[in-house]
């Protein structure tokens, strides 16, 4: 089943076409990486999907329904979650509190009076938070104040926060940016484990080609806002247009 589909998606910033007529499909259970040189439009595409940006034209469908009229939190409620890039952690709260807020927010959509009306479901929230922390290996850190976590664990907590809404599709924008080799390795393992345990479909934006080629079922290559190639890691590795787009950049 097609989970996500963009149709002739365009985003212009003034005269600059950051997303150029993109038709992207992501099937259920697929692991798709989006790669491309700096400024190719990767983050813009992710931000369009999460509704942080309005498209200039075109459509985005999730589970067959258009989401371009929705607010960002409504997209989360439909089952799309994004991890990384924007700091989603409340630094002064504990790891457990962060997970609980994520579970609550995904259930209620936003903070407000609803929060108080639904106390009955709070035990659920505690359960969801516990399961989430367990699945990202942070249960024994539950009482630690988030700001005191080592960098790699903060990233784990961010994945946990994204998972607390029990998404069908997880979008990850450069999950290993700024990590040490060990932290990168453990994050890649975590992503693999999360994929296995939660049966998640994910879309990954990543510059680290080793990760991209090891983790993806399919790779989509963007250049100047448009898709210039897509295929399995083996197909992409030998693709001439891709080599050209990266000329002087990353070795594939």
- Shortest separation between residue 140's beta carbon and ligand ATP, angstroms: 34
Smallest distance, Å, CB 102 to ligand ATP? 25
Shortest distance, CB of residue 16 to ligand ATP, whole angstroms?
A: 6
Count CB atoms within 10 A of the CB of residue 237: 14
5/32 Cα distance (integer angstroms):
13
Three-state DSSP state, 51: coil
Shortest separation between residue 13's beta carbon and ligand ATP, angstroms: 3
Tell me which stretch binds ligand ATP (CB under 6 A): 36-44, 100-108, 128-136, 184-192: 36-44
For 67, the 3-state DSSP assignment is coil
Question: What part of residues 1-30 is at the interface with ligand ATP (CB under 6 A)?
Answer: 13, 16, 18
The verdict on 39 binding ligand ATP (CB under 6 A) reads yes
Secondary element (H or E) of residue 102: helix 95-108
Q: Order the strands of the 218-223 sheet from edge to edge.
A: 80-83, 169-173, 201-205, 31-35, 218-223, 226-231
Q: Does 106 bind ligand ATP (CB under 6 A)?
A: no
Q: Which stretch binds ligand ATP (CB under 6 A): 40-48, 54-62, 131-139, 243-251?
A: 40-48
Size of the site for ligand ATP (CB under 6 A): 11
Rounded distance, CA 166 to CA 164, Å? Answer: 5
- Chain positions contacting ligand ATP, by CB under 6 A: 13, 16, 18, 36, 38-44
């Amino acid at each position: 089943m097609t989970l996500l589909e963009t149709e002739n998606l365009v985003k212009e910033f003034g005269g600059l076409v950051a997303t150029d007529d993109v038709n992207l499909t992501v099937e259920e259970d697929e692991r798709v990486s989006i790669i491309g040189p700096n400024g190719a439009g990767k983050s813009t595409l992710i931000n369009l999907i999460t509704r942080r940006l309005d498209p200039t034209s075109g459509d985005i469908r999730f589970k067959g329904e258009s989401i371009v009229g929705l607010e960002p939190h409504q997209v989360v409620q439909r089952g799309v979650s994004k991890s990384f890039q924007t700091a989603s952690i409340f630094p002064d709260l504990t790891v457990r509190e962060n997970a609980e807020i994520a579970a609550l927010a995904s259930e209620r959509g936003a903070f407000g009076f609803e929060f108080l009306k639904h106390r009955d479901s709070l035990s659920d929230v505690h359960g969801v938070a516990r399961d989430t922390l367990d699945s990202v290996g942070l249960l024994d850190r539950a009482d630690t104040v988030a700001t005191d976590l080592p960098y790699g664990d903060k990233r784990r907590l961010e994945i946990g926060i994204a998972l607390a809404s029990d998404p069908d599709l997880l979008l990850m924008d450069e999950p290993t940016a700024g990590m040490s080799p060990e932290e990168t390795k453990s994050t890649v393992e975590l992503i693999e484990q999360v994929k296995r345990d939660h049966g998640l479909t994910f879309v990954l934006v990543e510059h680290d080609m080793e990760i991209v080629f090891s983790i993806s079922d399919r790779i989509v290559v963007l250049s100047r806002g448009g898709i210039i190639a897509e295929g399995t890691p083996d197909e992409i590795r030998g693709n001439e247009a891709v080599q050209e787009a990266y000329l002087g950049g990353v070795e594939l």
